[in-house]
Every structure is written in C-alpha cells, then in structure tokens.
Amino acid sequence: MMMKTMMRRNTWLAILMVVLMCSCKKSARSEVKINDDKKPVAAASFRVMGYLREYNVVDGRAIQFDFSKITHLNIAFINPDAAGNFTTLNGLTELVAAAHAKNVKVLASIGGGLAPEYYTDLMSTGDKRNKLANSLAAVADQYNLDGIDIDLEGHFVDGNYEAFVIAVKAALKPKGKLLTTAIATVYATQYTDKALAQFDFINIMSYDKTGPWKPERPGQHSPYSMAVDDLDYWGGTRGIAKEKLSLGLPFYGYGFGSGVPEDMSFADILKQYPGSADKDEVTVAAGGTMYYNGVPTIKSKTTLALQKAGGIMVWQLLQDDAGSNSLLNTIDALVKAAKK
C-alpha cells in the first residue's frame, strides 16, 4: 500500500510539475506576444501634418488630395482684413468634411512668411487681441475646424505676441480646439517660454536656411544637419517635450546661378531633371544648381523625427511627385513600419 501510495504521489507530483511547466511556458509565450504587438507610444501617435494653400481650396485641388497618409491638415493662409474680419472661403466646409471622413484634423493657419503688416496693429491692445482671438474661434466653429495654427514670424513675434497667443488659447480651449504654431529657429530668442507653452504642438520650419533672397549664399536650404540642430535646440535647450515637436520638411527646392529657376516643386524638379529623385542637388550645363531634399534625405529626416519628435510637418503637399518617388509615400511607409 505504501509503495502504491508513494507511486500515486509521485505520479501526481510529476503531473503537477508538467502542468506548472506548461503554464509557465504559456505565460511566457503570452508575455512575449503582448510585447511584440505593443506599439511604441511615440510611433502610435506620430503626426504627419501637411499644408495646402487656401486658393487650392477654392479651385478644388485640395479636396482631391489623398488624405489617407496624413493626420493633420493646415489651410494656409486664412487671414482677416485690416479690421480683423474674415470673409467666407468657398469650398472649405466641403474640404473639412472630406478630411474628417478620413479621420484627418483640419486647422486654419494664419500669418505666413508674407503675413499682412496689419497683424502688428491687430495684436497691439487687449481689446484688439481679444477681438481677433474670438474671431478665430468663430471661424473654427463656422467651418467645423479642429483648431487654429499661428504662423507669425520675424517682427510679428513682438512684445504683444505672448498675450495674443494666450488670448487665442483662452478662446479655443473651451471649445476643445487645437492651437498650434509654425516657428523658425532663426527667431528663437523672440519666442517666450510662456508663449510656447500655449501650443498643443509646434511645427519647426527646418528649411529656408538660404534662398533666392540671399543670392550671395548659394547652397542647400534644408540640410540634414539643420534638422538635427533644430530638434536639439527646441527639445534640448528650450526643453520642449519631443511629443509636441514636428519636424518640418520641404517639398520644394531653390535654384542659384545661371540656367535654373529660383524655386521649383519637387514634382517639377523630377520632370525637369530626370534621375534626380535620389539626389539633393542638380547642377545644369549653364552652371546653376538646384538644391532640394531627395528621397534618401527625406527618409533620414523622417527616421530622425521618429526618434526625436512627435511628428512631421510638410510644406506643402501639392508640390510632391505623384509617381513612385512620392516623398509623402516615403514618409508614410517609414511611419507605418515604426507602428508595427
């Protein structure tokens, strides 16, 4: 009896050990599977924002855009008149509906590199700032926009800028609308920390280091090194969380010297100079050179942004090539691979 009892006990112990071992293996396999399937937080929420021009809303080109490869769309530029009043933009309601159907958020961008000079006056006093801020909130409501993007540069970032963005934030926040900005590092010292804290995210214009306005300084206007320096400055020196930063990429180039246009879209560069997709510059027989970002550089910058930022920003979407060398397709492929 004792021998049989011991044998039974040993048998049950053996079975129990097998069950425990199988359970541990199953648990380990489950844990590995969960970890493998888990998407990195940064990649899962990574933004791909692009700008389209307001006149392309009116002419219908904007609504024909494939929204599936972006997360946010800025319409540039929707500016008021000198009194701070906005006029109707035909086609914007339909564009917003089409974008929303693809889960893309749409914002109205104000200002621009050639912003109307009267912005200085519109931001000059509390009453004027509040009027403009409330008008912007009303525009967001009128077109069912998801927010407002402020692209004011140079002398517009003055002593009234901080108070203005605070007023816009106060007008938008109760409505659940976004407030974003496009900034250039060349004006870095003009942006106060308090002003920057108002924005949900910040698009770094990491381009236009030089251009036709500086013919004496020919060269690459958007080198990879500039992207590195810009992200290091805003994320490091200024301490802005990387999730709030979007790295700006150009879909255009600038020409210097004889035989090249002053500026060209990436699509036109490929048409004019066959075989240029994988380069960053093309020198023509007359001696001039066209500088831009080709596919390899866009890949490198997108990889950098996935590591050190929360998104990509593109100026501007309709300058892209529609064929196999599409820069947006290049970005999309890398972002989707990072999410797997």
- Condensed to tens digits (0 to 9), the pLDDT of residues 179-220 reads 999 999 999 999 999 999 999 999 999 999 999 999 999 999
Given a cut of 60, is residue 107 above it in pLDDT? yes
**Alpha helices (runs of H) in the chain, residue ranges in sequence order:** 2-37, 41-44, 54-58, 92-100, 119-122, 126-142, 161-172, 193-196, 224-232, 266-272, 295-308, 327-339
What is the average pLDDT across 239-262?
98
Tokens of 82: 């000198």
pLDDT at 42: 59
Given a cut of 90, is residue 339 above it in pLDDT? no
Q: Which amino acid is at 55?
A: Y
- Sheet with 289-291, edge to edge strand ranges: 263-265, 252-256, 289-291, 281-283
- Contact call for residues 253 and 263 (beta carbons, < 8 A): yes
Between 31 and 109, name the one with better pLDDT: 109
Q: Characterize the bridge pairing of strands 252-256 and 289-291.
A: antiparallel
Reported as a pLDDT band with limits 50, 70 and 90, residue 12 is: very low
> How distant, in Å, are the alpha carbons of 156, 193, 246, 263 from that of 204?
17, 15, 6, 21
**How crowded is residue 73: how many other Cβ atoms within 10 Å of its Cβ?**
26
Tokens of 275: 């075989």
pLDDT at 14: 42
Given a cut of 80, is residue 99 above it in pLDDT? yes
Rounded to the nearest integer, the mean pLDDT of the chain is: 90
> How distant, in Å, are the alpha carbons of 250, 308, 333 from that of 292?
8, 23, 21
Weakest-pLDDT range from 36-50, 117-131, 241-255: 36-50
Given a cut of 80, is residue 22 above it in pLDDT? no
pLDDT at 72: 98
pLDDT at 151: 98
**Is the entire prediction scored with pTM above 0.75?**
yes
What is the average pLDDT across 33-57?
72
| Distance (Å, whole) CA 188 – CA 84 | 27
Backbone angles phi, psi at 250, to 5 degrees: -95, 135
pLDDT at 32: 27
Tokens of 178: 């976004």
Enumerate domains of the chain plus CATH numbers.
44-251+293-339 (3.20.20.80)
Given a cut of 90, is residue 274 above it in pLDDT? yes
Reported as a pLDDT band with limits 50, 70 and 90, residue 11 is: very low
